[in-house]
Chains A and B, each alone.
Chain A
């Protein structure tokens, strides 16, 4: 008997449900509407399923962040798992002076920057097939051109200084407010805006050099 509920949207009109669920799934559902603070407290009190809800709530943001830094699906998935495990270990020391999301982003940015320092992931090329799906109204030639341009932009972003790169990713892709970025990076709003400005200026310069 399958021990978990899987709901797969294979096609928009299909809904495949394999029945069967664990008590942990039921517990996780009971935490579904809990606030972040309650989830943190429940996790520390021994309810691991509360942390499952935290993962469900923030995995897209953290994966998106990791993908923007590392540029491959595999690396981003690995690092997302790593970020949540680090967060789980550090949860008793989370003082809730910032929001849980900000704290997770902070762990994520540090993990991404450390990973980049430890490897030369920023120089890795990304398979074109992974970058964009070709839309029906777009010709293959246009799609190729767009992918080439996207690769140039990604390569230019990878050459930015770390803090500028982090600021650009958090602002342009994660669309976080400057105040939250300042809390994540441990700087002021003014410094975040200045970093963003220099990141954009350098990005334009690098693109124009090509």
Chain B
């Protein structure tokens, strides 16, 4: 029969070892010595009792703790719930991805004198980029993210699944085709416009 394990020595000392394993102690001197050592140590440890404080002590201690708590600001449940935080995490990931993709798109330079002027007259065959196509979208996206994350704590963000590997979003966006990036950008703009129009907030 094998020797008792560390856990079994504890069980033996606490009277929780099953009879079969306990019988091993009758035949094994090494295990018997070890079991006696454990029991002796428990006896030594438990012989040191804690002095019982006076009955008044507990009133004083609780009053002292109460004073300490009174000096603390009122605790509040965080305004986000896990489900909401998960949704927020998804939205934030999309916004970050779109923000990066919009910045990564090839840009066409528009001469300053053509901006906000009369419709162009066949200066080039290339389409002219709307001057408001990028900045408002990224600004709004950033503001949305900033507002949402303003009082977010790291633990809560991790619990909501908002942590990603470094560079994961960048590499995901880089995998998109130019057409896909453009479509993603349009989706983001539409989403932001519709939210702004309806006055909804996250």
Contact = CB atoms under 8 A, between A and B. Distances in A.
Given A59-B62, A81-B64, A89-B75, A149 B47 contact: yes
A157 B46 CA distance: 12
Contacts of A56: 62
Q: Is the interface of B mostly helix, strand, loop or mixed?
A: helix
A37 B113 CA distance: 68
A190 interface: yes
A92 B61 CA distance: 24
B193 interface: no
A154 B37 contact: no
B78 interface: yes
A55 B66 contact: yes
Interface string A162-196: 00000010001100000000000000001001101
Contacts of B78: 92
Size category, A interface: 35 or more
A197 B50 CA distance: 22
A92 B76 contact: yes
Given A67-B50, A133-B51, A81 B68 contact: yes
Contacts of B132: none
Interface in B82-114: none
Nearest to A131: B51
B172 interface: no
Interface in B27-81: 37-38, 40-42, 44-51, 53, 55-56, 58-59, 61-62, 64-66, 68-70, 72, 74-78
Contact of A85 (B6, B13, B38, B72): B72
A207 B37 CA distance: 11
B69 A85 contact: yes
B61 A200 contact: no
A207 B61 contact: no
B138 to A, nearest CB: 34
B45 A172 contact: yes
Query: Which one of A63, A132, A196, A207 has the greatest number of beta carbons of chain B within 10 Å?
Result: A196
Contacts of A77: 61, 64
A89 B72 contact: yes
A173 to B, nearest CB: 7
A51 B47 CA distance: 34
Given A67-B50, A193-B7, A203-B45, A55 B55 contact: no
Given A51-B69, A193-B7, A153 B47 contact: yes
9 contacts: A46-B74, A77-B64, A85-B68, A92-B78, A154-B48, A200-B13, A203-B41, A204-B37, A204-B44
Given A46-B74, A51-B69, A55-B69, 16 more contacts: A6-B59, A8-B59, A44-B75, A52-B66, A59-B62, A85-B69, A88-B69, A91-B75, A132-B49, A132-B51, A193-B6, A194-B6, A198-B6, A200-B42, A201-B37, A204-B40
